[in-house]
Amino acid sequence: MVSNAVIMQDAQAFNFDGDYGEIYEDLAHKVIPGYDTLFPATLALMMERIGMYAHVLVVGCGTGREISVFAPHAPGWRITAVDPAIEMVRFTEEVAARLGVQVQTDVRHGYVHELSASAQFDGATVINVMHFLRDDGAKDQLMQSVAARIRPGGTVALFDLHGDRKAPYFSLFYEAWKRYMTLRGYEDMAKESLLERLAAGIAYVSEARIMEICAHAGLQLVRKYWSGLLYGGWLLERARAA
């Protein structure tokens, strides 16, 4: 098993088995532009693409946001969720139990590459996960592991914090993001702590590099569907066999 410490930019900065899960919900709503509407929008697109009866992979389920939005609205979906942090797995299992959607959901402790290589999902979401992985092959490995388990013509929704740190826009957008946090009421110690974690734990890459990682994995861009400060969301299709 590849450990978090090996593949994450800095596993200590974002310790999902530590206190992060507890604070994530409040943080996500205040810090991620459009967090409340991102998941229904992703669901709507996925439903258009893969229909009401499908097998969907949720990569990095964290505090169960995908399950809580997707499962009640898509009762014909079977959802397999994976996360390498046991605390996050428990969190998601509790969300599924509270909503009464356990019958639809299978929450696994581990990584995508540990799922059976013969698994063929209709779709997958990779939301707020890839930005934690180093661009030393780890981002590629993640997207290749996902793509290999999506049927040809299937759909992947990728949402990630990103940007070219050398580009003139980056500091403008980063400073604006810090200001956005304050405007949203995310301040003081919580904000300072988050900024330290972001500085250590996020492996930013440009949008062009993200598209390259996806293309190498056999994922073709359908359309960018989300953009908010340094966050972006891309709808991708697993290449059909020639």
Cα–Cα nearest to 238, from 118, 119, 122, 154: 154
45, 62, 71, 214: which one binds ligand SAM (CB under 6 A): 62
80, 104, 128, 155: which one binds ligand SAM (CB under 6 A): 128
Does residue 59 belong to the site contacting ligand SAM (CB under 6 A)?
yes
Does residue 84 belong to the site contacting ligand SAM (CB under 6 A)?
yes
State which H helix or E strand residue 150 sits in.
Answer: strand 150-161
Does residue 226 belong to the site contacting ligand SAM (CB under 6 A)?
no
Shortest CB 236 distance to ligand SAM, Å = 16
Positions in 25-54 near ligand SAM (CB under 6 A): 28
Does residue 233 belong to the site contacting ligand SAM (CB under 6 A)?
no
Radius of gyration of the chain (CA): 17
- Part in contact with ligand SAM (CB under 6 A); list of ranges 60-68, 97-105, 201-209, 213-221: 60-68
Say how far apart CA 212 and CA 145 lie, in whole Å: 15
Q: What is the DSSP string of 195-241?
A: HHHHHHH-----HHHHHHHHHHTTEEEEEEEEEETTEEEEEEEEPPP
Strands, E assignment, 18-144: 54-59, 77-83, 105-109, 121-127
Residue with CB nearest ligand SAM?
A: 62
The residue ranges that bind ligand SAM (CB under 6 A) are: 7-8, 16, 28, 59-60, 62-63, 65-66, 82-85, 88, 111, 127-129, 132-133, 142
